[in-house]
Amino acid sequence: MAEEEDDLILSELPDDELVPQMGDDLYDGLKDEVAEGVQILLDRGWAPYRILTEALVSGMTVVGNDFRDGILFVPEVLQAANAMKAGMGLLKPLLAETGAPKMGKMVIGTVKGDIHDIGKNLVGMMMEGAGFDVVDLGINTDADEYIDALAREQADILGMSALLTTTMPYMKIVIDTMAEKGIRDDYIVLVGGAPLNEEFGKAIGADAYCRDAAVAVETAKSFVARRHNQMPAG
């Protein structure tokens, strides 16, 4: 049986077997195999976004559930995350190469105390793909880092990500600090991450909560368009 698995040739599997196999490989942290699967689907004409959602993000959901249920532990989840990153690495240039005109600039980071960066990276890639410039501050970002970067980069949008119920309140600290400095309304503030919801976004004074990367892109586009329409003519 093990021998049979060793002999598995990914490129010979039809799509409906390859995708679940990629989920298994992601689960097992096999980054070369995940990257190979991504390349095969690309060669078969799958759109990068479809590969991202149907082959990678779906696989990561299974990892998340088993992590929650105590079946997987941090080292295994890290390996799965690295495998996901290997696959995303191939998709990134493709998602970014739509040649869309520049829409605006976003500064994005995962909030202080939080080291989850896969979702944030995905949002950054999708935003780049949609024509936004993206400045990624990484993980564990404090209010001063966000605020300094917004000014330095002359950004239009602040994006904050949090994956922990214990770190999501930090988003309010950032927004409150911006308000104290009198700069809150100079920027569009978008927030996201698995434990958040729309109500939370409103409660902390963000402009919008974004359920996923695609929603982040659409929301950013509509806010930027609204801003341009409000600008005085001439």
Does position 204 interact with ligand B1M (CB under 6 A)? The reply is no
17 vs 227, beta carbon nearer ligand B1M: 227
Nearer to ligand B1M by Cβ, of 40 and 190: the residue is 190
Terminal-to-terminal C-alpha distance of the chain: 72
Altogether, the residues listed in the chain come to a count of 234
Q: Nearer Cβ to ligand B1M, position 55 or 81? A: 81
210 lies in the site for ligand B1M, by CB under 6 A = yes
Q: Is 60 in the site for ligand B1M (CB under 6 A)?
A: yes
Measured from the CB atom, the residue of 91 and 190 that comes closer to ligand B1M is: 190
What binding mask, one character per residue, do residues 81-110 give for ligand B1M by CB under 6 A, x or -? x-----------------------------
- Chain positions 107 to 166 lying near ligand B1M, rule: CB under 6 A, are 113-120, 122-123, 159-161, 163-165
Is 198 within 8 Å of 167 (Cβ atoms)? Answer: no
57, two tokens: 């993000």
The yes or no reply on residue 188 touching ligand B1M (CB under 6 A) is no
- Of the pair 17, 73, the CB lying nearest ligand B1M is at 73
Min dist. Cβ of residue 3 to ligand B1M (A): 31
Distance CA 126, CA 123 (A): 5
C-alpha torsion angle, residues 57, 78, 136, 157 (rounded to 10) = 50
Q: Number of C-alpha atoms within 13 angstroms, CB side, residue 116?
A: 21
Among 1, 2, 9, 74, binds ligand B1M (CB under 6 A): 74
Using alpha carbons, select from 15, 69, 8 the residue that is nearest to residue 41: 15
Question: In sequence order, which residues have a C-beta less than 8 Å from that of residue 109 and are 6 or more positions away?
Answer: 120, 136, 137, 138, 139, 141, 145, 146, 149, 159, 160, 161
Local structure of 188: helix, strand or coil = strand
Nearer to ligand B1M, 41 or 208 (CB): 208
Q: Give least dist CB 84 to ligand B1M, A.
A: 7
C-alpha 217 chain-centroid distance: 11
Footprint of ligand B1M (CB under 6 A):
57, 60-61, 63-64, 67-68, 74, 77-78, 81, 113-120, 122-123, 159-161, 163-165, 190-195, 210, 212-213, 216
